[in-house]
């Protein structure tokens, strides 16, 4: 029996308890430092190590020092099972992360997010039989953990399927009423569980009904979301997973889980609101607006003339410019062209051209997609300029080179009040002196909206695979 070294408010504590709680405090500090470092690409790698180190510390001190109400340590059989699961999961995660392509990173984020939601929901489901039904707070965190975790799991799986092209959008005016009905049903079941006065055994049917309704709500909640809103939805689901993890922490009274979940939930919520502001839309409008369901009206919606440019003309125009802004989009990631894009930036810089990258908050398929993509190619972070900072310079920019971007440079957001993206802040590429757009073909963007920019007087199209076109462009510039 471990020696008791103190007593606070009638509760005895031992040296092991003290070390365990101290390790949770250190882990929490690691989480905070890691989150801070993750805010900058140059320090993000260290941030991951700090956050991961905090999690490893919390897990292993729990395995070694945790004791139940009877003062018993975790059984060795369970310790080996946990260590085996950790090892297998770590190996799988390592292999997947090493092999995943940047184009599939949003899908991977959604998949990982789904596993977090599922874990939190399972914790709530398994611990419900132990809930004190006379303690409303205990029942509330269990019910919330189950509901939010299940929604995060099923919603993230649908997001994964949509990003991977396996699940199609379901645009229907009736969907918002279906979702409202499911949400009301989930709340009603939750309230019934809390006030029924029955035992967990008697409420077994209700908790599984809540699980089913929550899973269905997660599916139906994400199904109507249009393609251009997926970065917002991924961020929102990530915040759900964090909140669900915090609920699991409350269930177990684990401070590390509580703080870690709160940090993830808060960061995800803040990022979601920032992206909504960047799109000039409310979160409610994102969720029920079915963005991208309708075709845009206005100039170019019925087609127009896209004027092409040759490689030699494009290379001359870029080489003899003073200022060039590159607007990266998902097409750059699809072509895996970030490295050759960096090569183009370097060769233009040696010719005295001021080259910068314009970053839109929702470019790509997940928050910060373009930042991560360009950081992978070692593009200096000071050359990545946010939309609100680059737009004032657009009228003085000689050439804007749009690579695989579409909706984030579409002037319909300004010119066409009937467009689904009306009012959304865009990168004002159309104000530059010249625009070169690199695309694989003449198709519409992810939101399914025709782009007025492609038919503009100052715009020239350079069709083809972005990686090949950029490499040919680099070769042409070198030969000048």
Q: Tell me the domains of the chain and their CATH numbers.
A: 102-293 (no CATH), 311-479 (3.40.50.1220)
Q: Is 116 left (phi over 0), alpha (psi -120 to 50) or beta?
A: alpha
pTM, entire model:
0.77
pLDDT score at 150: 95
Helix (H) or strand (E) holding 437: strand 434-439
Highest mean pLDDT among 24-38, 163-177, 181-195: 181-195
Angle at 434 between CA 431 and CA 436, to 5 degrees: 110
Catalytic residue list:
407
Q: Count Cα atoms within 13 angstroms, Cβ side, for 249.
A: 20
Angle at 23 between CA 20 and CA 24, to 5 degrees: 90
Residue 116's Cβ-count burial label (10 Å; 0-12, 13-18, 19+) is: buried
The dihedral sign for the CA sequence 98, 36, 160, 81: positive
Strands 323-328 and 354-359: parallel
Helix/strand/coil for 127: helix
Least confident of 41-55, 200-214, 318-332, 446-460: 446-460
**At residue 333, does pLDDT exceed 90?**
no
Structure token pair of residue 12: 């005895």
* CB 280 within 8 Å of CB 425: yes
Angle between helices 105-127 and 230-252 (to 10 degrees): 30
* CB 35 within 8 Å of CB 265: no
Least confident of 24-33, 55-64, 189-198, 365-374: 365-374
* CB 364 within 8 Å of CB 280: no
Where does the pLDDT of residue 177 fall: very low under 50, low under 70, confident under 90, or very high at 90 and above? confident
CA distances 296 to 81, 155, 267, 287, 408, Å, are 55, 28, 33, 20, 14
Helix (H) or strand (E) holding 358: strand 354-359
Distance between CA atoms of 47 and 42, rounded to whole angstroms? 10
Strands 4-8 and 11-14: antiparallel
CA distances 64 to 77, 86, 381, Å, are 13, 15, 42
């Amino acid at each position: 029996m471990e020696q008791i070294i103190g007593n606070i408010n009638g509760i005895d504590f031992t040296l092991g308890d003290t070390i365990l709680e101290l390790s949770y405090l250190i882990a929490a500090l690691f989480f905070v430092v890691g989150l801070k470092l993750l805010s900058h690409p140059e320090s993000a790698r260290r941030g991951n190590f700090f956050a991961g180190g905090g999690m490893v510390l919390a897990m292993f001190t729990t395995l070694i020092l945790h004791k139940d109400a009877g003062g018993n340590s975790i059984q060795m059989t369970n310790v080996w099972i946990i260590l085996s699961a950790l090892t297998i999961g770590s190996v799988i995660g390592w292999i997947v992360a090493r092999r995943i392509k940047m184009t599939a990173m949003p899908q991977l984020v959604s998949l990982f997010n789904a596993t977090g939601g599922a874990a939190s929901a399972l914790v709530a489901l398994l611990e419900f039989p132990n809930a004190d039904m006379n303690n409303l707070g205990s029942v509330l965190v269990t019910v919330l953990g189950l509901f939010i975790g299940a929604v995060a799991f099923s919603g993230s799986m649908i997001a994964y399927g949509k990003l991977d092209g396996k699940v199609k959008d379901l645009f229907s005016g009736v969907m918002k009423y279906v979702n409202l009905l499911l949400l009301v049903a989930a709340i009603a079941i939750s309230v019934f569980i809390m006030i029924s006065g029955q035992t967990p055994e008697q409420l077994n049917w209700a908790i599984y009904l809540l699980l089913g309704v929550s899973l269905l709500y997660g599916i139906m909640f994400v199904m109507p979301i249009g393609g251009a809103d997926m970065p917002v939805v991924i961020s929102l689901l990530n915040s759900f997973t964090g909140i669900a993890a915090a609920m699991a922490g409350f269930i177990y009274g684990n401070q590390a889980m509580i703080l870690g979940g709160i940090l993830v939930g808060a960061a995800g919520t803040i990022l979601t609101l920032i992206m909504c502001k960047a799109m000039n839309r409310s979160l409610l409008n994102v969720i029920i607006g079915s963005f991208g369901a309708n075709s845009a009206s206005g100039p170019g919606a019925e087609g127009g003339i896209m004027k092409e440019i040759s490689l030699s003309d494009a290379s001359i125009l870029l080489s003899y410019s003073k200022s060039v802004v590159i607007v990266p989009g998902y097409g750059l990631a699809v072509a895996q062209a970030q490295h050759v894009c960096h090569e183009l930036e370097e060769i233009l810089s040696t010719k005295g051209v001021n080259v910068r990258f314009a970053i839109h908050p929702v470019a790509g398929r997940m928050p910060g997609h373009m930042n991560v993509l360009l950081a992978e190619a070692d593009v200096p972070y000071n050359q990545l300029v946010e939309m609100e900072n680059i737009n004032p310079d657009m009228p003085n920019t000689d050439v804007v080179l749009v690579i695989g971007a579409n909706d984030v440079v579409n002037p319909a957001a300004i010119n066409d009040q009937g467009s689904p993206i009306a009012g959304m802040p865009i990168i004002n590429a159309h104000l530059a002196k010249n625009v070169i757009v690199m695309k694989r073909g003449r198709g519409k963007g992810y939101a399914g909206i025709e782009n007025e920019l492609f038919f503009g007087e100052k715009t020239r199209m350079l069709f083809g695979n972005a990686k090949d076109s950029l490499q040919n462009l680099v070769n042409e510039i070198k030969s000048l």
